[in-house]
Amino acid sequence: YNATAQSNAKVFEFKYKKDDRYRILSKVNEEVFINNILNNNSEIINRITVHITDVKPDGSGIHESNFMTSDTSTGSISGSHLTWNEEYNSIYERDKHGKFTIDSSYFMPVIRDMPVFPERPIEKGDSWTANGYEAHDLRKTFSIKKPVTVPFTAFYTYNGEETQSDGRKFDVFTVSYNLYFDTPTPENPAILRSPYPAVTTGFSQQTLYWDYEKGAVDHYKENFKITIISSDGTLYKFKGTTEAEITQFTRSNDDFESVQQQIKHLQLENVLVTENEKGLTISLENIQFKPDSAILEDSEKEKLQKIAAILKNYPNNDLLVTGHTA
């Protein structure tokens, strides 16, 4: 949190930590039109799991992600249902400001380089722009094997803090962008023999709810429309809404920092907290006994009681107690 007494401005950054894991549930309700005639309604459910496998010195996080997508479409005339499921895996790097580094072969995530935050502190009412792009999976529609990328410039406004009905507090941003992209004529003659997306237009309007402590988007809502004109003149239109939220978030050193803070608050001397593959270790050094005996000094018993009170905050954790004596 970067603020002064004269300003409520904050620096917003993604705060990746190694072994962060989280799950996202995304729901899309979409209408699909072909030549302005409603073809089908779709409900698309995305279940996303993300593991931050490493964090670079500059704060960039290496993401290993799995996307399980279920699309249920209902024909507007026939009323027939068609469901298809697909699973995607992606590995990508994202810096602390939000910029992606990702191989062109990955189809997910669809929206990239959004949100992107400026390096400067921002305060309520501030606005800025940043470039991003969408990666469209058009294998079913146009048999294109790689994602079709469509660039955009997003316009951001920081609306300030908002407290939800459950008491949680978030920083709220509105984000909007327009799409217009003329696809370069494909060099591959085989592609030219089949329809391909010649012009892509559209817009997105989103409201993002940011968890400042975690340094991540907690949930968002979106209205969108995408129009694709194919090379044979067919008009495809997709419009609808999206809602997404983090349903589970675990940070391996959350407990580590919490225990450290509690020990500092209780002013426990000669107590060290470390973290390794086994979990957290609380080490008591220079333990004082009564002279020539195995009886602890009263001050040490009090120290143990305070540590026991800390451990009661973690009733689901296994405890391993070890020690040695002279």
pLDDT at 4: 39
22: helix, strand or coil: strand
Contacts of 273 (CB under 8 A, 6+ apart): 256, 259, 260, 263, 280, 281, 282, 283
Written as six digits, the tokens of 302 are: 């009090």
Instruction: Match 């939220």 to its residue by tokens.
Output: 245
What is the distance of C-alpha 5 from the center of its chain? 31
Task: Report CA torsion sign: 46, 49, 53, 55.
Answer: positive
Instruction: Match 């500092």 to its residue by tokens.
Output: 264
Residue numbers in the chain where pLDDT is lower than 50: 1-6
Q: Compute the distance between CA of residue 211 and CA of residue 221 in angstroms, rounded to an integer.
A: 15
pLDDT at 2: 39
pLDDT at 253: 62
129-158 per-residue burial string, b: 16 or more CB within 10 A, e: under 16 = ebebbbbbbbeebbebeebbebebebebeb
- From the CA atom positions of the chain, what is the Rg in Å? 26
Q: What does the pLDDT look like over 9-24, one tens digit per residue?
A: 899 999 999 889 899 9
pLDDT at 188: 59
Cβ atoms within 10 A of the Cβ of 214, count? 17
Please write down the HEC assignment for all residues of 267-282.
CCCCEEEEEECCEEEE
pLDDT at 138: 78
Cβ atoms within 10 A of the Cβ of 221, count? 14
- What DSSP element (H or E) covers 203? strand 197-211
Q: Helix crossing, 254-265 with 298-311: angle to 10°? A: 150
pLDDT at 288: 87
Task: Tell how strand 37-55 and strand 21-34 pair up.
Answer: antiparallel
pLDDT at 27: 96
C-alpha to C-alpha distances, 60 to 22, 55, 79, 291, 296, nearest whole angstrom: 17, 6, 47, 54, 48
